[in-house]
Amino acid sequence: MSRPRPRARAARSGPPRLVAFNKPMNVLSQFTDDTHWPGLGRHLDLPGLYPAGRLDRDSEGLLLLTNDGGLQARLTDPKHKMPKTYLVQVEGGPQEDQLEALRTGVTLKDGPTRPAEVTRIEPPELWERDPPVRVRLTVPDAWLSMTIREGRNRQVRRMVAHVGLPCLRLVRWRIGPYALDGLEPGTWRDLEPPRR
């Protein structure tokens, strides 16, 4: 006789809710603080919502939160291949062979990556970062728009470093149809959840 599987979280109360949050640098993608860094609870008082995915402490940008476990799975499960677009400031001047390597996929310690969509872009109009990006005056820097369809730990940083372009700043700009457009760091807004 099989037993029912326990639920990870209590059943959702109320209608499905989806929230976009612009996560500042040095904020954890969890509600509780740790010894050294603040969590989401310092910026959000949204009971019953949980992050759909993560952003590293030193990354900024779009973090989606929801009270719907099914939606959370669709946004984060690699089998759904939800595109995630990042604005990436790199040290150095990207050469076409470096960009092509990212476009075809690179092999990291945890295996080969899927191909990424990568283009060099003009510096985007973003908020000032606190602390500021450490830029060396003798070394050029550039911005890339990079879209991936998987979500390994620190994947974008590791991919650009693998091709010789250390990451200086990483901002997640878009997840599927949801974009950061106009959302200031530390602020949030409700989104229309997708229909099932």
Selecting among 33, 56, 58, 141, the annotated active-site residue is: 56
Tell me, yes or no, if 56 is annotated catalytic. yes
SS (H, E, C) the chain: CCCCCCCCCCCCCCCCCEEEEEECCCCCCCCCCCCCCCCHHHCCCCCCCEECCCCCCCCEEEEEEECCHHHHHHHHCHHHCCCEEEEEEEECCCCHHHHHHHHHCCEECCEECCCCEEEEECCCCCCCCCCCCCCCCCCCEEEEEEEECCCCCCHHHHHHHHCCCCEEEEEEEEECCEECCCCCCCCEEEECCCCC
Q: Which residue numbers are catalytic?
A: 56
